[in-house]
Structure 1
Amino acid sequence: MTAQLDAPHDLVGIGIGPFNLSLAALAQGLPDQGAGELATAFYDQRHDFRWHPGLLIDGTTLQVPFLADLVTLANPTSPWTFLNYLRHKERLFPFYFAEQFHIQRAEYDAYCRWVAGRLPGLHFGHQVDAVRWNPERDLFEVDYTQLDTDGEAVALGRTYTRSLALGIGTAPYVPEPLRPLAEAPTVPVIHSADYLDNRRRILGAEHVTVIGSGQSGAEIFLDLLRSRPAGRERLTWLARTPSFAPMEYSKLGLEHFTPDYTRYFHALPEPVRDQLVPAQWQLHKGIDAGTIAAIHEELYRRTLDGGWPDAVLTPGVSVRTAGRVATTKVELHLDHAQQGTRSRLTTDAVVLATGYRERPLTGLLAGLDPYLRKDSSGRPRIDERHRMILDPSVTGSIFVQNGERHSHGVGAPDLGLAAWRSAAILNTLTGKEPYPQPARTAFTTFGLEQAEHTRPRPAGELRPLVDHP
């Protein structure tokens, strides 16, 4: 073990996805709580930045405007804005004439890689193995393994920091009935996260089933539909939701992705928050209206010569069990919730657009478990400033990025709140306000009571019938 005994960092980030990349970009050049510059380091086991590479299907776009880049909504004058990226690439005028408010995913990935390739203090190819609190030094110890391009260990190291930022992201979720099949290399059952790597194999299958009603499932179904001859599509699209529903994208609906709503949600009782998150699925698990229209248009186009496309779209269906038929086919046992019926479907390939789950923190933070304060469901308690609530003996802070949906609501994984959250973390970390936060961000008043710190109460605003002490 090679220990780094130099001056400790002010902040170490674990994981370099868009959220910690945003934090690193906004942290660059900031002063610390003294007279020096904020010392940061960020680690990721991957060897370079890649954002959902398996889903960068040609023509697919972000579901948030380009202003939801890494920094603009906190500091539009930053050198790390998307517009400055375009300027460096000499593409500002083409972008101006393109009039694209929602950029392609591949372009967002290229922009993030441009930032990651220029920011100092990013350490790719470094796997963080353990985190501990050192009470003698009042610092966190971070142990890591440096990896070569084949993923083999080449060196061990340790660094020290006053605060941590966890941005380890999410992992593809595979439903229990399909896990044995997805783990068998001879059976073409893949998660949507690996779609492009397996696209040629999937296109070669006689019949393909897509499972999942979100944006990824819709985009993959559309890509497969466009790639297969009319009348011989041999496609099935199944969804557990009662319909292939559009995402809530009204102007006032989008205000659920504002700091105002995030604060409101955090102040709610834990049982209420736990009920709200699954009930708000259409805010983040629905399908972009443009994608739904494109699917319908493609299906309609295939009826022009008479007949119907060989494509089955069925919502309200869950997979009860699944098994292998011979060595090349999969049999899905299906339940229809509304009809109360069961059926079987034999298919040659399955694409699971079944979403993602937050990566568990238990292994990484095992050494800190005695210091963690948890809620009634065993999840870390996280304060309004995105910090884990720790034992008072721990003087450092652990900030959480995209691991706090249970405490901060549906906006936790949304790119549109990345810069705001990073700015809030840095304001807390520095004890100053390098990034002033807006007092109000939504026209909607989400409750009859507002927390005292949010904003002044304007004239005519609703007041509670009973003032609580």
Structure 2
Amino acid sequence: MEQGDEKVIYDLLGIGLGPFNLGLAALLKKAPEVDAIFFEQKEQFTWHEGMLIEGTTLQVPFLADLVSMVDVTSPYSFLNYLQQRNRLYQFYFLEQFHIPRAEYNHYCQWVAEQLDPCCFGAEVIDVQAYDDYYKVKVFIRKEKKANWFYARNLVLGVGTQPVVPAFLKDKLGDTVFHSSEYLSKKAQCLQAGSITVIGSGQSAAEVFYDLLQAQNQHHYTLDWFTRSKGFFPMEYSKLGLEHFSPDYLAYFYPLPQAKKDETVNAQDLLYKGISAGTISDIYELLYERTVGGQKPSVHLQAMTEIRGIEKLGDAYELNCRQWHSEQNFDHQTEVVIVGTGYKPVIPNFLSSIHHLIEWDEKGRYQVEQDYRLKLRPSLNHSIFVQNGELHTHGVGAPDLGLGAYRNAKIIHAITGKEIYPVHPRSVFQTFGTKKSLVNLSV
């Protein structure tokens, strides 16, 4: 902070405190020479709070915590969290590799409470670039004023934003909303006579299953539409999971950008789709509800695109098309829940330095292999990005299991030394050819 005419220039300033930047703050404990500070506009750590549905779990093993994939000895590991909270034996007897989503959120809150560099209730509103540092304007909610902070390097951990079809945006409210708001609006949903879920991913499936469980008590009709070819499971085979490894990142990064885009578009089911367990839960409940010829008011339909929406009194009429059979139809419902995923966001606070960042032809960041943004040559300080590099680094960008690896590389880039060694071979298969194997330690 500024003290009189003296500037305190941090080595690193993090913007946003989701799991990735929180993990970076935790791993920096072994790099005390790095003076860092992190800002988050929320009042405390919360991770997809609208989707912390009871019974839901992470889609990755508990080892994909904030630190363990590069440092299992860290005091900020999930296993240490369990030990400190006297839950280790309970977890041992649970015999589950995938932990409750609510517990992962609580674990991250536990870590955040221990890290002094993590500042909540602080919104970054502007970033300016100078020869030797960045000047960052931060609104501190508790102080009700903005302060300037200075740092040699920035790391963007602002996450993603919900995707909502354009024709639905002016209808958003209490009865038309994105799945990210589900829990805050669930009580009102349960009073409706009809509910429609749109989307084919895990979020849509979890919302549908939660509403299906409550349907007999509240007696609404329940519909689920997706434009995908079916309600397909996410790819979760052992060799398929090896795409979420440093080896695959090293193979993917040097590919031409056109080949990268083509590849990512063909890999939807590696990071989208529905878990096989959730599909099984839905099917088993539907099976039970139809015992003795019962016909629950439930309808699932794939290959169906929602093209428009009109308000009809207290309800809505959706204009739909089953694109495979080329049939159009209208569907009426009182509530529409949009589970159409998320997309990377370019934050507004970068507008002052937008011209200093190298963008690709699609308006995306150009990102170096060590997660630095490509900047104009005049800048000799770096901006790193967390989960904004799907197009450059591949399907592992949003994966929690690779967050610690990415943070190890960022710390290496800032300090110039390998505090967390990264081993060159971590999977059984070879991507590319033997001759093209890349030494990941470089």
Question: How far apart are 1:369 and its partner, in Å?
Answer: 2.3
> Within the alignment, does 1:374 sit opposite 2:375 as a pair?
no
Aligned mate of 1:169, from 159, 172, 184: 159
Question: How far apart are 1:395 and its partner, in Å?
Answer: 1.1
Question: How far apart are 1:92 and its partner, in Å?
Answer: 0.6
What's the counterpart of residue 374 of structure 2? 389
> Within the alignment, does 1:226 sit opposite 2:213 as a pair?
yes
Inter-partner Cα distance in structure 1 for 2:217 and 2:192: 16
Q: Matched residue of 2:75: which SS?
A: coil
What's the counterpart of residue 196 of structure 1? 183
Inter-partner Cα distance in structure 2 for 1:260 and 1:251: 15
CA contact (8 A) 2:52 2:183 kept: yes
What's the counterpart of residue 329 of structure 1? 315
Q: Matched residue of 1:43: which SS?
A: strand
Inter-partner Cα distance in structure 2 for 1:16 and 1:220: 26
Which amino acid in structure 2 is aligned with residue 163 of structure 1? N
Which amino acid in structure 2 is aligned with residue 382 of structure 1? V
Cα distance per residue 1:26-53 (max 9 Å; x no partner): 012414xxxxx21000001111100011
> Within the alignment, does 1:126 sit opposite 2:122 as a pair?
yes
Inter-partner Cα distance in structure 2 for 1:439 and 1:407: 20
The correspondence of residues 141-156 of structure 1 with structure 2, limited to 5 A, is 141-148=135-142, 154-156=144-146
> Within the alignment, does 1:345 sit opposite 2:331 as a pair?
yes
Cα distance per residue 1:114-140 (max 9 Å; x no partner): 0011111111111111111112xx111
The correspondence of residues 68-467 of structure 1 with structure 2, limited to 5 A, is 68-135=64-131, 138-148=132-142, 154-182=144-172, 185=173, 188-229=175-216, 232=219, 234-326=221-313, 328-361=314-347, 363-448=348-433, 449-450=435-436, 452-454=438-440
Question: How far apart are 1:308 and its partner, in Å?
Answer: 2.5
What's the counterpart of residue 9 of structure 1? 10
Inter-partner Cα distance in structure 1 for 2:191 and 2:107: 33
CA contact (8 A) 1:215 1:288 kept: yes
What's the counterpart of residue 27 of structure 1? 28
> RMSD over aligned Cα, in angstroms?
1.7
Question: How far apart are 1:56 and its partner, in Å?
Answer: 0.5
Which amino acid in structure 1 is aligned with residue 399 of structure 2? D
Question: How far apart are 1:2 and its partner, in Å?
Answer: 6.3
Question: How far apart are 1:270 and its partner, in Å?
Answer: 0.5
Q: Matched residue of 1:364: which SS?
A: helix
Inter-partner Cα distance in structure 2 for 1:95 and 1:231: 34
Question: How far apart are 1:307 and its partner, in Å?
Answer: 2.8
Q: Matched residue of 1:66: which SS?
A: coil
Q: Matched residue of 2:307: which SS?
A: strand
Which amino acid in structure 1 is aligned with residue 198 of structure 2? I
Which amino acid in structure 2 is aligned with residue 278 of structure 1? N
Inter-partner Cα distance in structure 1 for 2:441 and 2:398: 25
CA contact (8 A) 1:318 1:335 kept: yes
Question: How far apart are 1:445 and its partner, in Å?
Answer: 1.4
Q: Matched residue of 1:365: which SS?
A: helix
> Within the alignment, does 1:42 sit opposite 2:38 as a pair?
yes
Provide the identity percentage: 45
Which amino acid in structure 1 is aligned with residue 107 of structure 2? Y
Inter-partner Cα distance in structure 1 for 2:436 and 2:137: 42
Q: Matched residue of 1:376: which SS?
A: coil
Q: Matched residue of 1:252: which SS?
A: helix
Which amino acid in structure 1 is aligned with residue 85 of structure 2? K
Question: How far apart are 1:454 and its partner, in Å?
Answer: 3.5
CA contact (8 A) 1:59 1:104 kept: yes
What's the counterpart of residue 466 of structure 1? none
Inter-partner Cα distance in structure 1 for 2:389 and 2:125: 22
Inter-partner Cα distance in structure 1 for 2:165 and 2:400: 26
Question: How far apart are 1:85 and its partner, in Å?
Answer: 0.4
Aligned residues: 440
Cα distance per residue 1:177-204 (max 9 Å; x no partner): 211111xx4x511111110011111111
Question: Which stretch of structure 1 is more off in the superposition, 228-237 or 299-308?
Answer: 228-237
Cα distance per residue 1:378-424 (max 9 Å; x no partner): 22210100000112221111110011111111110110101111111
CA contact (8 A) 1:177 1:319 kept: no
Inter-partner Cα distance in structure 2 for 1:252 and 1:3: 55
What's the counterpart of residue 464 of structure 1? none
CA contact (8 A) 1:233 1:309 kept: no
Structure 2 unpaired stretches of 5+: none
Structure 1 unpaired stretches of 5+: 32-36, 457-469
- Which one has a larger percent helix, Structure 1 or Structure 2? 2
Q: Matched residue of 2:252: which SS?
A: helix
Aligned CA distance change for structure 1 residues 121 and 393 (closer, same or farther; 3 Å): same
Inter-partner Cα distance in structure 2 for 1:375 and 1:395: 21
Which amino acid in structure 1 is aligned with residue 346 of structure 2? P
Inter-partner Cα distance in structure 1 for 2:362 and 2:212: 42
The normalised TM-score by structure 1 is 0.91
Inter-partner Cα distance in structure 1 for 2:158 and 2:8: 25
Question: How far apart are 1:230 and its partner, in Å?
Answer: 8.4
Inter-partner Cα distance in structure 1 for 2:387 and 2:379: 23
Question: How far apart are 1:376 and its partner, in Å?
Answer: 2.1
Aligned CA distance change for structure 1 residues 266 and 334 (closer, same or farther; 3 Å): same
CA contact (8 A) 2:192 2:220 kept: no
CA contact (8 A) 2:59 2:275 kept: yes
Q: Matched residue of 1:322: which SS?
A: strand
Inter-partner Cα distance in structure 1 for 2:351 and 2:34: 28
CA contact (8 A) 1:10 1:163 kept: yes
